[in-house]
Each structure stands twice: as C-alpha cells, then as structure tokens.
Amino acid sequence: MCLAVPGKIIEIEGDKATVEYGEGVTNRANISLVNVEIGSYVLVHAGFAIKTLEEKDALETIEIWKQVLAAGGAPDA
C-alpha cells in the first residue's frame, strides 16, 4: 500500500522544500516533479511532492487525517 500525505510548502531552496503537515510538523521534500511556490499544497510520497492540490481539497484531507489519528488508527478497509 502506498501513502501520500498532503502538506503546504512553506520554504523553497532549489529543488527541495520544507512542507508543513499541520500543527507545526515539517519535513523536507523534493519538488522537482511539480511546479509549486510557497503556499502551494502538495501530496508527498517517499520524500517527493508528486501532485499539487487545491487548498480546499488539501485542507479537507488534512482534517480527515486528524480524525483518523484522533480515533487511534486507520479506518477499516
């Protein structure tokens, strides 16, 4: 199973960006596969931003992840 996590680009240095995943959690991601700017939302998989997202869709997905984590795990498949 593959998992891509939505986040917001908060800093860009060359082909690397700092991505915020919510509540202050950040990590670096390679952005060479997408055309982004600071403030863009992306899906990150295995350290690479693989797709840009509309803000509305990204925030909705982030909220769902918060609910899943608050419930203590992943929903039943």
The DSSP secondary-structure symbol of 62 reads H
- Span 37-68, pLDDT tens digits: 999 999 999 999 999 999 999 999 989 888 88
Q: Give the predicted TM-score (pTM) of the model.
A: 0.84
C-beta atoms surrounding 31 within 10 Å: 24
The predicted pLDDT at position 65 comes to 83
For 5-70, CATH number? 2.30.30.140
> What separation in angstroms does the CA of 7 have from each of 30, 54, 65, 76, 77?
13, 11, 12, 24, 24
Average pLDDT, the chain: 91
The domain limits of the chain are: 5-70
